[in-house]
Each structure stands twice: as structure tokens, then as C-alpha cells.
Chain A
Amino acid sequence: MKGKWLPVVVASLAVLLASGYGYTADKPIKLGFVYIMSGPAATYGQFAKQGADLAIDEINKKGGINGRKVEAIFEDDTGKSDVGIRLVRKLVYENEVDAVMGIDSSGVAAAVTPVMKELKTPLIITHAAVPDVTGSLCNRYTFRIDLSINQNVAMAAAIAADLKAKTWSTVGPDYSFGHQSWEYFQKYLSKKKPGVTFLPDAEAAFPPPATTDFSAFITKVMNSKADGVVISLWGGNLIDFVRQASDMGFFDGKREVLMTLGAATEVLTALKDKMPLGIWVGTRYWFQANDTPINKAFVEAYKKRFEVFPSYNAHGAYAAVKAYAAAAKKAGSTDKEKIVDALEGLSLELPIGPTTIRAEDHQAISDGTWGQTAADPAIPIRILKPMRHFAGKDITPSVEETGCKMK
């Protein structure tokens, strides 16, 4: 009996060992993504997923990261902080991901950032712009690859300084993002152009994010004495606002208008020719901002696969995956601590342009683009013409200013 069974046991053991060995060698790198995938802002999650999928497929086609395939797990945080924290924990403890990426809402980003210290896992934020995550809340494991409020609003202020408007007001969503955008705009513009004045908050307009009828806010701003308005609404809010404001004569040329996220392709795609011409608009990434081969290849591949132009959120997710891959290559490992060390000070070429992740506060520094809305018969949406480019170092606050202390 013994003799009969021995070869079977040996063979099974051999198979087990072989498959076990193979398992470690080919074990994929797991990246966890957290975005808003349902509800009114779901279009942002959809774009981000496309950007991440594109980057991962490109990497896997070339043999993966350090010879290992990359796998993605997507989760829907519904824009809520508690859900975001739960999902990040789940991704780390249950799915054993090597890194977490994503986060649309600034509220979720600010809530998740402190948790990363406990999870000891790198987080690369790709959309949320709240200054604190690379400022007062900064920590060893949290990075941001996209432009922050400060960087975007610094460009708005630079453009506003060259315009004629003397009294500025704002229309911004009534939560931290809208209020912080306004706060930094005042701070930067008053430094650049000391003579300008700003309406007090009570005379500016802060519609709640659930607003669908903006008429009262539009009337309020039009009847104020402001001759310049900076608008930080985004997504569906911005679409509704622009259409209703156009009808009410808001864009009649009597006031200068800046939209900090007006060049988001999801907004421009919905509005098409309803987007007024000659408005200064900003974004975190503009697909025509530069002619580098890497940007051209990204836009072409994206357009071919998804039949739309890449939005800034698509770029954010794409950039985060590419940054992770670059860090893993630099570190020669996917050990979480080594990845963090490699991400600090990492320089890489992204579609948006050359990007460096500042070691001191983990904020990515890349060049920014604003532009005036213009029509182009070859493209179904509004484009930016003329464009103004800003060097990353000129729009990024110094580390002291951010209030970030890593230790």
C-alpha cells in the first residue's frame, strides 16, 4: 500500500510547490482606486477608471512593473468621507493592495489622509484639490499628483491681475472647496495687484452643491457692484450655472469672468456651443496644452479607445499609475516603504509635462494651463485659444507656506 501511494504524494507535493513558487513570481501588483462611481458626479469616476485602465494596459503590454502584471480594484466612495475611509481600509487589509489612488472629493481626501499613517500604504490623490492634504495634514504616505487649489487659483489671480476689473466677487459651491478657492484668490490677487477690492462673503454667491436653479445667485451677482467674477463651480453645477447665466445676460461683456474648472472636458462636452466664447477658464490638465510626443500618444490612445478627449480626471488617474510604475522601477521593489522613498522627489515625464513630486510636502509640481474659450470647427467642443502657460514653480506655494511638517 505504502509503495503505491508514495509517488502520488510526491507528485502532488511537487505540483503544489511548483504552483506555489509560480504564484510568488507572477503575483500581480494590486492597485486600489477609490472614486465617485455613482450619483450625480459619477462621470468623474468613469473618466478616472478609463485613464487608469489605459495606463495599466500600457504597462502590462510592456511586461508589467518589474516583471509583474498590474491589477486594479475600483471602489465607489459615493463622495462620502466615512465610506472613503472604510474602503481604503478594506483595500489595504482585505485586498492587500500595494497602493491606493484616486479620491474626487476634497472632504474624503482630508478624512482619508490621516488614516494612511495607520495603514502604512502609499496614497496618490488624483483629483481632490484641498490644500491641507499636502499642507497641514501632510504625512509620509500621502501624495498628490494633480494641481491643488492653490496652484490653480494662483493662475486665476495672475490672469485677473492683467484684466481691467477692480471689484471682484465669486460664485462657488457652499463647502470648503468654494470658500477656499475664494480665500486664496483674494490672497494671491491682492498681492499681485494691490488696488483691487473684494466683495464680502455675504455679498458673493455660495450656492449649495444640490442647487439646480441658480437664477437667484445670478441675479444677486449681476446686481452687485462687482466687475469681475471668479467662478469655482464644477461638474453639473457649472453646466447648469453657465446655461442659466447665459440666458440671463450674465456674459454680456459688462464683467470679467474666470472659471477655475471651466476647461473640464466633461463640462465642455455637455455644453458644446452653449459655452460662451472668450471666457478665461482653467483646469488641472488640458489635452492640447502641449505637443510633446507623450501627450500626443496619450490623447490619441485615449480618443481611439473611449471616443472622447481625456478629461483632467482621466489624466490624474493615468498619471498616478505611471508615477507608481516609475517609483517601483526606481526602487527596484514594491515594498511600501521603499515606494514612498522613491516617490519623494520623483521626476517623470507625464502628458501634462515634466512633473516632480516635491519631497517636503508630496505635492506634484507641473506646469499649468489656462485659456480663453474659442470655437474650432474641427473639434466638437470649445477649445482654449489663446492659452497661457504657467511654470509649476511660479504657481506652487513654498513648503513653509503650505504649513506641512512631515516629522
Chain B
Amino acid sequence: MIVASGAPGDPPNGGSAWQYERADDEVGRGKIELSDVSVGYGDETVLEDLSLQVERGDFLCVEGPSGAGKTTLLRLLYGSLLPRAGVAVVDGVDLGSLRPRHVSRFRRRLGCVFQSDELLPHLTARQNVLLPLQLAQMAIDEPDERADQALEMVGLADKAGTVPPELSGGQQQRVAIARAIAHEPSILLADEPTGNLDAVSTADVMHAFQAFHQEGGTVIMATHDESLRDTYARRVIRIAPRRGRAA
């Protein structure tokens, strides 16, 4: 039996028992469990009967051809798509019973990085990390220090006052990673984070992921790059087109 949150035996996401603040050793923290999950868009089912188990501290690469459903899998994991069938539990939260008003609270437990850096060009690197942190994590302590620590972790402490157009592609992506990890999520989801980068920038970005991983975080990364997969991933799953099942 998969327990969504709280003590074993509690109902999954049981109303007010769903708490944002959770102890580090809480059941399911940093874990992902998918069991016979189907998900898709409209009438189309993109992933079918997908089963997957990720332990805390794992570094998982998701590979597969274009259109196989890697992005769909990540969208499922951050609550943008809901499972049509099966059971999906991410960081202790049963996505099947996740209420719409709880989605934003759920996402605050995750970090997301995408292929396009999606930084706000008019804000400095530090402000890009700080603003979502301040708006999303209402009662967070010392947000400025956390933003600075996150930038330091990705090696961009000296670029804190620089605006994105003045940063290289790799630096911009590292700012996006800093933004994704500043609130200390247990799981970091990344969709082709190095897709647009050269080799040097890719290495810098991957070091940032590694730093997060070494702190005990779980990393799920979709990528086409086999060298990244071989160098950094502890596990690799392949999604076959149309009918997905983790190998």
C-alpha cells in the first residue's frame, strides 16, 4: 500500500491534514512511486501502464525518442497533468487525489528546470531567484540568504547583480537551477536542461545538479545526451513511444 502523507494508514492527502511543513524523515519524502499510470492530453493517451520507483537521493535520467512522453512524465510529476489510471505518489503526495487548490502547495516541494531558461530578463540573477521564493514561500526565513546560498551552490555568487541578457546560456540555466533549489526541495525535475548549451556550459550546469544531488536531493532529468546519462545518472529509464513502461 502506498501512503500519501502523514503517518502510515492516514488517508492520502486527507483534507486539512495535508501540511506544507514536513519533517525531513516524513514518509515518502524525496521518493516517487508510479504504479500502472496512464496519462495524456485530451483523447490521446501518451503514457500507458507506466510503473516506476525512485528512492530519495536517486539521480535518474529519462530517455526516449522525441514524442515518447518524457516531458509528459515530468508534467505528471509536477502536477500539471493528473493520472488517468494507476497510482502516482510524488514526495509523499498522491497525485490522483490532489485537489486543484493544493497544486501550488505541492509544487513548492519540488524544483523544476526546463530547456529554455525562462528567466525574467528585467530582473537580476539574484532577483530571479528571490522573487518566486518570496511570493511562493510566504513564511520562509531569510529569503535573501537562501537566494545567495542557491547562487553560490551553482557557482554564480559573483553574478548575482547581473541581468540574464548579460549572462551566457549556461549561466542563465544555472540561475534557473538556483531558483529551482532555493527553497530546498527534495526533488528536482529537469526537462532537457542542457539542450541548448555548449559542452563547457553543460558541464557547469551538470555540476550544479550534482551539487544538489550530493546534498541528498532526488534528481529526475529528461535528456537526449547519452554522455550525460553515462556520466551522472545512477539509474536510467527508457520510455518507449505510445506505450510506456520503465525499464
A and B together in one complex: no
Interface residues of B (CB under 8 A from A): none
